[in-house]
Structure 1
Amino acid sequence: MADIAHSVHVALGSRAYDILIGEHLLDQAGTILAERFPGRRYGIITDDNVAAAQLPRLLAALDAAGLSHGEIVLPAGEATKSWALLGQAVDGILAARLERGDLIIALGGGVIGDLAGFAASIARRGMGFVQMPTSLLAQVDSSVGGKTGINSPHGKNLIGAFHQPRLVLADLSTLDTLSPRQFAAGYAEVVKYGLIDDEAFFFWLEANLAEIFAGGPARGEAIARCCAHKARVVIEDETEQGVRALLNLGHTFGHALEQDTGYSDRLLHGEGVAIGMALAHGFSAQQGLAPSQDTGRIVAHLQKAGLPTTLADIPGTLGSTDALMAAIAQDKKVSRGALTFILTRGIGQAFIAKDVDPKAVAGFLNDRRG
């Protein structure tokens, strides 16, 4: 019996699936897959960092269950979400003679989950895939909900498809191999769920921060609560026509900063989200929408978690405000050329703000640049 501490069901009719959360699930993956998807062959897509740390465990589990598999190992890093490496992944799937009814396994963080899911969506006009997220960010956010894709020189995640996984296996033990910086970056997405519409969860995070980082029971509970939150939103708005956009709190600013820093290790995705959430709350306060003391409380919590919260925290020199605004103008939420931001009236009170004045945003960014 698998050591499943939490299970979340994503009720999407014929495309429903479960999120299983627990310790050492990679070591039990063969048994779980054989029971749920008998007769399948598997194509594993991962990156070289995860391959060194986690792939042997998964291969041993698949072999023990007698499951046929092949592996495609890509470079680690955000720059992997490109046309060239997407093509390499799809070619690998076809070269392995995987059939339409077989399954792709995305073993890794958000980059691999996004790219492997997109590859599965287009290989043989659509194959099923299983998410096995190995980073905190992927376990609480990107592995759930079916958003897949790659980046473009014009912006982040502008090329992709909605393609739901068949199963998500979140092995808590994989988080023990993350660097403190990587774990903190993932924690930004945890905080996001409290800031959107769950003030009580944010307060709970303030009380349980140490245990979450230390790996106690609060860690699994936090991940399960985030997954349940996202599942509810995805069920209501699968293709982001409305309320699902709230999950992008902090991402409009964050994605622009990631693009400006070249999708490099200068700024991890979660770090961009942390700064973006601080900016979104700060801009909301400047516009008279939210109390400034809430911004201070949020910033203090993010900083306690070891996250950057200001533009000055980004190493190196940022591009001009005009360059950041050009990136913001390519955000997926832009409609008929009008800027759409996720703003807030306070902790747990995020809302979709349409037709935001770009001059006000540019002025705010100039102020924050000092």
Structure 2
Amino acid sequence: MMKTVPVNIEHHAYKVYLDKGLRFRLGELLKNSLDEQPSSIFIVTDSTVAPLYLEDVLNGLPDDLNVTTVTIDSGEQSKSFKEYEYLLTEALKAGLDRKSVLIALGGGVVGDIAGFVAATYMRGIRFIQMPTTLLAQDSSVGGKVAINHPLGKNMIGAFQQPEAVYYDIEMLATLPEKEWRSGFAEVFKHGLILNEAFYQWLNEHVQQLPIHDQYMNELLARSIAIKAEVVSKDEREQGIRAYLNLGHTLGHAIESVSGYGTLTHGEAVVIGIVFAMKISEKHYQTDLKISDFVDWVESLGYETNIPSNLDRSKLLEAMKKDKKTEAGSIRMVLLKKVGEASVEKIDEKLILSILNEQ
């Protein structure tokens, strides 16, 4: 049975549709969720997803619709200026106009770069997210789209809300375990920052990855609802939306210094969450029971220590390029307790001392 989660952003409300087999029903979904039908469709996917699901998606579209498909290489390396320019060129060659709709069929990388193309082509055209990974349940909601720069992750981007999100849960079946780990980090992060009850539910029900089918609908609906609530209150990250970056200050630095794609985004974020918890305990003089958290995530296959080969001073420099940094001061999302987050300015010496401990 299809679930819908509303995302009520000022001037632009849309829905997340959750069900099995949505990829076969794209024409019907477009009729239900678009005010004006598209003049043409431009589907961006990647080399992993295309052989698995692109044909299913195309078969669900009306025959009389002008459809172009473009496939990029899978992996974080594709969130580059080179691929961005290539996609814009293909969009121009396809003759997309302002009534065209771009569909991002893939994980977070496809959603990010395709969404950025949609945000900037003709100063913005409509787009739809069709996430195929657990990680993308987080990134497909909220309208953050971006590409990477060698000096920092997601530093070139925009806010471009989708018209809808179609989440076919069946597509998670082909995910490798590494991708389950990458995505599940963003799920339990939602509990850590804003909803202790959800975090405890996850702790109790998720003892292995992949996640058991009987829990998937509730897990996704609850996680997406938390993200939707945050985004509806703070679309452009002026306040509480920054809490969603728990673990990301160090996580993004690890991705940047180690080379994009060495660790998955979620794996790097978990190391960053443990680090943020240690800073939180020092800053607030509190006890977050870090060892219990570490035991749980390590049982799910996560690493919790910073890779020993990464230069700590380079990590510190990369952390200074984080988007929350102000006037050179590092600001981090910390936990006062599970379910209550805050953004604080943190002294470099404390950061470096804990970096050197890990």
- Pairwise same-fold verdict (TM > 0.5): yes
Deviation at 1:189, TM superposition (A): 0.5
Which letter maps to 2:281? A
Aligned partner of 1:115: which letter?
I
Q: Of Structure 1 and Structure 2, which has the larger fraction of its residues in helix?
A: 1
User: What is the aligned partner in structure 2 of residue 146 from structure 1?
Assistant: 143
* Amino acid in the other structure paired with 1:120: A
CA distance, structure 1, for counterparts of residue 316 and residue 18 of structure 2: 39
Q: Deviations over 1:45-65 (max 9, x none)?
A: 11111111111111111146x
Q: CA deviation at 1:359?
A: 1.0
For 1:19, which of 6, 16, 24 is the aligned residue?
Answer: 16
- Is 1:274 paired with 2:270? yes
Correspondent of 2:162 among 165, 170, 179: 165
Give yes or no for the alignment of 1:176 onto 2:173: yes
Hey, what's the Cα distance between the residues in 2 that align with 1:75 and 1:310? Answer: 30
Tell me the TM-score normalized by structure 2. Answer: 0.96
Q: Tell me the SS of whatever aligns to 2:65.
A: coil
Equivalent-residue separation in structure 2 for 1:268 and 1:212 (angstroms): 15
List runs of 5+ in structure 1 lacking aligned partners.
none
Q: Are the equivalent residues in 2 in contact too, given 1:30–1:67 (CA < 8 A)?
A: no
Tell me what 1:222 maps to. Answer: 219
The 2-side partners of 1:36 and 1:247 are apart by 27
Q: Distance in 1 between matches of 2:216 and 2:343?
A: 30
Moved >6 Å (runs of 4+): none
Comparing 88-97 with 107-116, greater Cα deviation is found at 88-97
Amino acid at match of 1:360: L
Separation of aligned partners in 1, 2:162 and 2:322: 25
Give yes or no for contact 1:109–1:138 (8 Å, CA) kept in 2.
yes
Q: Does 1:105 align with 2:100?
A: no
The alignment status of 1:291 with 2:326, answered yes or no, reads no
In 1, distance between residues paired with 2:97 and 2:207?
46
Match of 1:136 in 2: 134
Change in CA separation of 1:94 and 1:204 when aligned onto 2, cut-off 3 Å: same
Change (3 A) 1:216 1:336: same
Output the aligned Cα RMSD: 1.5
Aligned to 1:360: 350
**Matches of 1:89 and 1:158 in 2, distance apart?**
19
Identical pairs, percent: 39
Unaligned 5+ residue runs, structure 2? none
CA 1:323/1:91 → structure 2, altered by over 3 Å: closer, same or farther? same
Q: Is 1:339 the counterpart of 2:327 in the alignment?
A: no
Correspondence list, 1:1-370, <5 A: 3-4=1-2, 6-37=3-34, 39-40=37-38, 41-63=40-62, 66-139=64-137, 141-210=138-207, 213-264=210-261, 266-293=262-289, 295-311=290-306, 314=307, 318-354=309-345, 356-368=346-358
User: TM-score of the superposition, structure 1-length normalised?
Assistant: 0.93
